[in-house]
Structure 1
Amino acid sequence: MNKETESGKTYPDDIKSEGPEKKDIAKAYEKYAKQFTPKPDYFGNCLKAFLVGGLICTASLWYKNMLMDKGIGEEDAAIFVTITLVALAQILTGLGVFDVIAKFAGAGVIVPITGFANSMVAPALEYKKEGPVLGVGPKIFSVAGPVLVCGITSAVIVGIIYWIIGMF
């Protein structure tokens, strides 16, 4: 049961009113909050992510094959598909549609390159009212910047190791 205080707020019985320890309060709050926390549907979430991510990848492969059938080389077609995916994700983010799709599909829409495009456009839109110099410019890489730094650094390290191994 819950106790009602003079202010009208209710607290779990586990919380003692006379000098409770912080650990006791934390445990009591965790137990209380667990009652109201919805249990995620792991299977359903994985299925939605798999289907939407698979749909994006299948459509991309179809588009690449269509471009190759028109006479574009495989490498150029792959680059064109990547540019198209990034542009579509940016447009959908700007229209507010990407977040709706991401809420439904979860990682299925975030893992492909579309997630990278969204991570650059969303902060830019959020800070556009602060102007291009103090808002959009500094914030555009706030999410994607660390990813780029880690990726480029890893590539340089692997390249150096590959170069050293190639010397022997």
Structure 2
Amino acid sequence: MARDPKKKPLTVDQKRYTEMVRDLVPRPPYLRNAALAYLFGGLVAVIGQFFTDIYKITLNMSDKEAGNPAVATMIFIGALLTGLGVFDKIARYAGAGLAVPVTGFANSVTASALEFKKEGLVFGVGSKMFMLAGSVITFGVVTAFFVGLIYALFVF
């Protein structure tokens, strides 16, 4: 690793302190975290597939049609669990297994809305609701626009 010429070299005490901190800080259990994220992410997918199958059978829908209410149901469940304070307790163990799917999106929107509800419906909930998820939505919409534009220009 190259040394930055603008930084002062570390003193002997600073080097010892850095080594001591490196030795004392516990190592995160990467394998355990990855396994739990994989299991919980798979569980979310199984639950989503369950709802898709239920909508297909009970409402006589195709696979494609049943996907929309299934996703809406998963968003509702994620928001409900966030509102009840359960989502964060589960997410401590599940990690990215709950944060990455659509349930994580529901959690980020609901948590932001709940945090600012004291400021009122418009200036609190309405304006701060997409504080965490807003950049993801914006990036997704802009990316979809450019991919669609490239597809329209080069595929047709």
| TM tier relative to shorter chain | 0.7 to 0.9
Cα distance change, pair 22–73 in 1 and its aligned pair in 2 (3 A): same
Give the partner amino acid of 1:68: K
Q: 2:31 aligns with which of 43, 47, 50?
A: 43
In the alignment, structure 1 residue 58 sits paired with structure 2 residue 46? yes
Q: 1:140 aligns with which of 129, 140, 150?
A: 129
Cα distance change, pair 163–57 in 1 and its aligned pair in 2 (3 A): same
Greater C-alpha radius of gyration: 1
Cα distance change, pair 161–35 in 1 and its aligned pair in 2 (3 A): same
TM-score (norm 1): 0.79
CA distance in 2, matches of 1:49, 1:56: 10
RMSD: 1.8
* Identity value in percent: 39
CA distance in 2, matches of 1:160, 1:104: 41
CA distance in 2, matches of 1:105, 1:81: 21
Cα distance change, pair 95–27 in 1 and its aligned pair in 2 (3 A): farther
1:15-164 correspondence to structure 2 within 5 Å? 23-24=10-11, 27-70=15-58, 71-164=60-153
CA distance in 2, matches of 1:154, 1:27: 45
SS in 2 for 1:149: helix
Cα distance change, pair 50–133 in 1 and its aligned pair in 2 (3 A): same
Cα distance change, pair 166–59 in 1 and its aligned pair in 2 (3 A): same
- Structure 1's unaligned 5+ residue stretches are 1-20
TM-score (norm 2): 0.85
- Structure 2's unaligned 5+ residue stretches are 1-7
The number of aligned residues is 147
SS in 2 for 1:72: coil
CA distance in 1, matches of 2:102, 2:72: 10
**1:9 aligned residue:** none
- Could you give the per-residue CA deviations for residues 33-56 of structure 1, whole angstroms, max 9, x where no partner exists? 334422111111111111111111
